[in-house]
Amino acid sequence: MSAGRRETPQSSACRDAVFFSNSLMSDAESDWSPLHDAAFNGRVLALQSLLGQGTCVNLSTLDRVSPLHAACVQGHLACAQLLIQNGANVNSSTVDGVTPLSEACARGHVALASLLLQRGANPSGSGHSNSPILKAAAKGHSECLEPLVQYGADVDQVMDQQGSPLHVACSNQHLSTVKKLLELGACVNSSVRGESPLHTAARLSSPELTSVLLQHGAVPSLRNSEGNRPLDLTSPDSPVGRLLRQGGSEATIPK
Instruction: Identify the CA nearest to 47 among candidates 82, 3, 97, 5.
Output: 82
pLDDT recorded at residue 15 = 57
Neighbours of 184 (CB within 10 A): 19
38 vs 86: CA distance, rounded Å: 15
CB 86 within 8 A of CB 47: no
199 vs 83: CA distance, rounded Å: 45
pLDDT recorded at residue 162 = 78
pLDDT recorded at residue 71 = 97
Residues lower than pLDDT 50 in the chain: 1-13, 20-27, 249-255
With DSSP H G I counted as helix, E B as strand and the rest as coil, what are the percentages for the chain, rounded to 5? 45, 5, 50
210 vs 247: CA distance, rounded Å: 9
Segment 175-184, tens digit of pLDDT: 999 999 999 9
The three-point CA angle 147-153-154 to 5° equals 130
136 vs 18: CA distance, rounded Å: 29
Q: Which of 3.40.50.720, 1.25.40.20, 1.20.930.40, 3.10.129.10 is the CATH number of 188-250?
A: 1.25.40.20
Segment 71-126, tens digit of pLDDT: 999 999 999 999 999 999 999 999 999 999 999 999 999 999 999 999 999 999 88
Give kind and range of the element (H or E) at residue 142.
Answer: none
Contacts of 142 (CB under 8 A, 6+ apart): 136, 174, 176, 177, 179, 180, 181
Show the beta-strand stretches assigned E in the chain. Answer: 18-19, 60-61
Q: What is the DSSP string of 149-160?
A: HHTT--TT--BT
In one letter, which amino acid is 13?
A: A
pLDDT recorded at residue 16 = 55
